[in-house]
Amino acid sequence: MESESENADWDVVVVGSGGAGCAAAIEAKQAGARVLMITKSSLLDSKTARAQGGIQAAVGDGDSPERHFEDTWKAGKEMGNEALVRILSERAPETVKWLEEMGVAFDRDESGYRLMSAAGLSHPRVLTCGDTAGRGIAEAVLRRVEALNIPIWHETGLTDLASVPRGFRLTLKQQGRVSDPTLLTRTVVLATGGAMPEERSAGLVEEGLANMPDGLDLAARLGARVVMPDLVQYHPTGILLPKALRRKRLPETMRGAGARFLNREGEAFVDPLLTRNDLTQAIIEECQKGLGVETDDGRQGVWLDTPRIDQVKGAGYLREHFPTFHALFLEHGNDLTV
């Protein structure tokens, strides 16, 4: 009797259309596999596409993968998997080259890559694509996915994942369909990005297929060991006001360019180039002291002093290097330069 996997619909199903999912799909297809990609929303609604600041790699003069490793290891309070942190830092330059082969155009100047500083870095190391690096990366790798004729099922969520002999059965939920289709694959790649329960309860996740179980949930149900889920990182510069821009984040490179945090009294209270975890904790503590800024719907935060960027870097720097956010805030009646 044939097993279910011997009649598999696909060799590889990639769940998620962000950078990791696209890279997995491309490599599998080029290795000769029958590949399907599914995504629960639109292609450019991934965490990769929403990333802003850039990608880190030790490609600048005086920098090295060892320095990259040391910075990353220190920023993680030496709690990471050392072998994996070394892989990340040592292979980052070749990842940049791979992305350029995919068509990513990183910002350059007369001396080479235009590298930015960010929190926790001992050396400028952030490669950018304007102020929307994630979108630049996502669009390039998605073009390669499409050029390889890898089918993509849009608005398709994964609701259940079951192990079968030599493969997996996936139960799907598709927008507009009453029945829940299933498919068989020999291999599944979970590149879903995930969602935090706290984010859902705070009303910062859209309804619909976006509320399908994330990859960590599904992997855990199948018996995978989820390591240190409490160390998922929070971004310290999520936008509170204007309300229309909530769920968006201001890039860390703004702080690298001179922006700083101010409390309700207009006082700088923390080094803006501390790591994300330390900055987030400092913001929480400032609000707990009663020195935060409260919105009319009861949320608390602090000010990000963006006009200081032009004071530090020169007039026009913010508009030139962060054009997307400058224009976005102007549309809502806020000028980041004043």
pLDDT, tens only, 273-331: 998 889 999 999 999 999 999 999 999 999 999 999 999 999 999 999 999 999 999 99
Distance (Å, whole) CA 133 – CA 143 = 16
What's this model's pTM, rounded to 2 decimal places? 0.82
- Fold of the 7-46+145-229 domain: FAD/NAD(P)-binding domain (3.50.50)
Query: Maximum CA pair distance of the chain?
Result: 74
pLDDT of residue 270 exceeding 80, the answer is yes
Joined tokens for residue 329: 């805030």
Joined tokens for residue 18: 């962000």
Nearest to 238 by CA among 52, 14, 42: 52
Distance (Å, whole) CA 317 – CA 311 = 9
Could you tell me if 298 and 317 are in contact, meaning their C-beta atoms sit under 8 angstroms apart?
no
Helix axes 133-147, 82-102, angle to 10 degrees: 70
Helix axes 82-102, 65-75, angle to 10 degrees: 120
Joined tokens for residue 43: 């292609």
The pLDDT value given to residue 231? 76
The pLDDT value given to residue 206? 54
Q: What is the pLDDT of residues 112-138, one digit of tens each?
A: 999 998 888 999 999 999 888 999 999
Residue 159: how many other CB atoms lie within 10 Å: 14
Amino acid at 306: T
Mean pLDDT across 13-30:
97
Where in the chain are the domains? Answer: 7-46+145-229, 53-131, 243-331
Joined tokens for residue 71: 């910075």
pLDDT of residue 207 exceeding 70, the answer is no
- Fold of the 243-331 domain: Flavocytochrome C3; Chain A, domain 1 (3.90.700)
CA-to-CA dists, residue 80 to 55, 75, 164, 219, 322, angstroms: 19, 10, 33, 20, 32
% of the chain exceeding 90 in pLDDT: 72
